[in-house]
Amino acid sequence: MLNAKLSDAVAAIRARTDMVPEIALTLGSGLGPLADHLDGTTIPYADIPHFPVSTVQGHDGVLMVGTLFGRACVAMRGRVHMYEGYSAQEVAFPMRVMAALGAQTAIFTNAAGGMGEGMQVGDLVAIEDHLSLAVASGHDPLRGPNDPGIGERFVSMNRAYDPELIDLVQSLSPDIARGVYGHLVGPSFEPPALIRLLKLAGVDLAGMSTVPEVIAARHMGVRVLALSAVTNIAVSSTADSHVTNEAEVWESIRIIEPKLLALMQALIPGLPAVEA
């Protein structure tokens, strides 16, 4: 039962800290150093019952609970992905734990390939909608028995990415655009034919995370803000000889880190409080 698993995980965390977080942060590939500024308790994922453990470089695999820029936060320093072999439900479980700890607002960051008009490596983009071929084909984290004590059976994904929070981000950094995120399982990078299909569907970004966690957050009534860091430009033609590789992505992340940190320093203190 999900409730029992959540209770086990929350109890293990509560044994180490009694702080009730307002904000949950899921920090994607290479973006974990933001958590260096969080003052609090660090718990390895392996020490939390039922918690999936990160297996990918750049995902440190620790949960941090404490104060970040003046706000009570819980932060995942690194996430897990379906391509590691986890189900959508397992990928979403950490978000459920953070919500059960008390978080009412969730901020997600990820690394993504850009395909929207004018996008460049180093851009930050606020996600305003998503398209998930995995979810559409049956890998929805809400699939299976529903616990009404956690959320409703059917959950709307319209405005899943909170427009007020997106407006707040753009007021702080007007150069941040909005975009549609295409969720793919990976770990292979997208072939040109798939990029062309996604472009036809109005997708601006392609990545391998975030959507299962967002669905779980909305299922539990948590407000969502998601930001993609454009680490490469997606190739849409086999005539283009460029081959996207992991080294390219990591180099781009190093450029983006200071920009993301500056945004969070301005954003987190001003996030509206949400009544539980």
Which pLDDT band holds residue 180 (cuts at 50, 70, 90)?
very high
Q: Does the annotation place 117 within a ligand binding site?
A: no
Please report the pLDDT score of residue 183 as a whole number: 97
Whether 82 has a pLDDT exceeding 70, the answer reads yes
Q: Does the annotation place 232 within a ligand binding site?
A: yes
Whether 109 has a pLDDT exceeding 90, the answer reads yes
Q: Which CATH number fits domain 2-270: 3.40.50.1980, 3.40.50.1580, 3.90.480.20, 3.40.50.2300?
A: 3.40.50.1580
| Residue burial 66-104, b: 16+ Cβ < 10 Å; e: rest | bebbebbbbbbbbbbbbbbebebbbbbbbbbbbbbbbbb
Whether 220 has a pLDDT exceeding 80, the answer reads yes
Q: Could you tell me the maximum CA-CA distance found in the chain, to the nearest angstrom?
A: 57
In this prediction, residues 66-71 reach a mean pLDDT of 95
Please report the pLDDT score of residue 29 as a whole number: 60
Q: Does the annotation place 81 within a ligand binding site?
A: yes
Q: Does the annotation place 111 within a ligand binding site?
A: yes
CA dist., res. 238 & res. 118, Å (int):
21
Q: Which of 12-26, 145-159, 193-207, 236-250 comes out lowest in average pLDDT?
A: 236-250
CA dist., res. 230 & res. 113, Å (int):
6
Q: Domain residues of the chain, as ranges?
A: 2-270
3-state DSSP: the chain helix, strand, coil percent, rounded to 5? 35, 25, 40
Please report the pLDDT score of residue 126 as a whole number: 98
Which pLDDT band holds residue 142 (cuts at 50, 70, 90)?
very high
Please report the pLDDT score of residue 63 as a whole number: 95
- Mean pLDDT over the full length of the chain: 90
Whether 30 has a pLDDT exceeding 60, the answer reads no
Please report the pLDDT score of residue 243 as a whole number: 64
Q: What is the pTM of this model?
A: 0.93
CA dist., res. 198 & res. 206, Å (int):
8
Q: Does the annotation place 79 within a ligand binding site?
A: yes
Whether 27 has a pLDDT exceeding 90, the answer reads no
